[in-house]
Amino acid sequence: MSDLPPVSHALDDAIRRAIDSKTKPLGALGAVESLAVRIARVQGTLTPDLHRCRLTLFAGDHGIAHEGVSAYPQAVTRQMVANFLAGGAAANVFARANGVELRVVDAGVAGEPIDAPGLVSRRIAAGTRNFAVEPAMTEEQCDAALRAGDELGVNVAADAAAFGEMGIANTSSASLVAHKLTGIGLDALIGRGTGLDDGGLARKHAILARAAARTAPRLDARRALCEYGGFEVVMMAGAMIGAARAAAVVLVDGFIAGAAALAAVELAPALRDYLVFAHRSAEPGHRAVLEALGARPLLDFEMRLGEGTGALLAWPVLKCAAAMLSDMASFESAGVSGPDG
């Protein structure tokens, strides 16, 4: 996956001149201008076109859930898959409001395979193993999940690709993947997830500290994903790389997506310039992940739902940034006097 081509900087000077010539004071659109530059680089044009976004929502279960690290039972993952397919979740509502196509992928939901109209099956297994006592998955399973994600990303058929997740206990997975990739302390990475009380949070800390002690302090991306990832997390990492290979702008959602992005950037370093970080989650570990990636998120609404909801809210901002560069008049074309008269 390291063969992902880097974005081109050949047009950087021309892009900057085009933005500075628009009918506005220099820099007046702030971070929107920087966002327009990033989009133009990905598309390799002075007139970027962002009209279609697709949200791919990966669902998978985690053996660590049986240790009691979540306030919700594991069965909720499967129940929420049905809710997504029925159109009733927050992700569905936000996607409809913004004209975004949503597809749901079974990456490894516990129980029997789900047979439902509209579901995309890339099922690796019926959930991961309990990483408190053994690796979450085999190397073969990890590679299969990366390949499946890459294939889904390459075939995203959209200008922008957003990725979401559903999996009870996946904040535990994200915390440990981020911990092993960055060396950031667990105290900075572990949060309440689905809403643990103080006792539940203390128990989660103890369980994850025990799980972390199983392996070396730092791991490479593939090893960290094998030891602590979820099938939905690994598949999302592969999908980010695949979507970038298809020259799509990649919208990164919250904490779990951020952990997947950390791993994906290590696997394919050129990916970093394809990524736009949608929002800062209220989950405390997300701030640390964003800092590790050198990322400045577009929004901060104190959300921690996942499902790609933050990415969906950021999509209109991306469309506006691209339209500004492509459609906004210049001082010359509008007959407006510039700053020099």
Q: Which residues are catalytic?
A: 307
Altogether, the residues listed in the chain come to a count of: 341
- d(CA 128, CA 290) in angstroms, rounded, equals 26
Structure tokens at 142: 């990890």
What's the CA angle centered on 41, arms 39 and 43, to 5 degrees? 70
Structure tokens at 323: 């339209």
Where b means 16+ CB within 10 Å and e means fewer, 185-211 reads ebebbbbbbbebeeebbeebeebbeeb
Output the CA–CA distances (angstroms, integers) from residue 226 to 134, 218, 256, 289, in the order listed. Answer: 10, 13, 16, 19
H/E segment holding residue 240: helix 231-245
Residue labelled with tokens 């950031």? 184
Strands 249-252 and 275-277: parallel
Residue type, 162: A
Where b means 16+ CB within 10 Å and e means fewer, 30-60 reads eebbebbbbbbbbbeeeebebeebbbbbbbb
User: Cα dihedral sign for 324, 31, 297, 276?
Assistant: positive
Structure tokens at 198: 């103080």
3-state secondary structure of 103: strand
- Which of 254, 276, 315, 272 lies closest to 39 in space, CA to CA? 276
Give helix 12-20 / helix 309-327 axis angle, nearest 10°.
Answer: 80
Q: Is the separation of the CB atoms in 237 and 264 below 8 Å?
A: yes
Structure tokens at 19: 């933005």
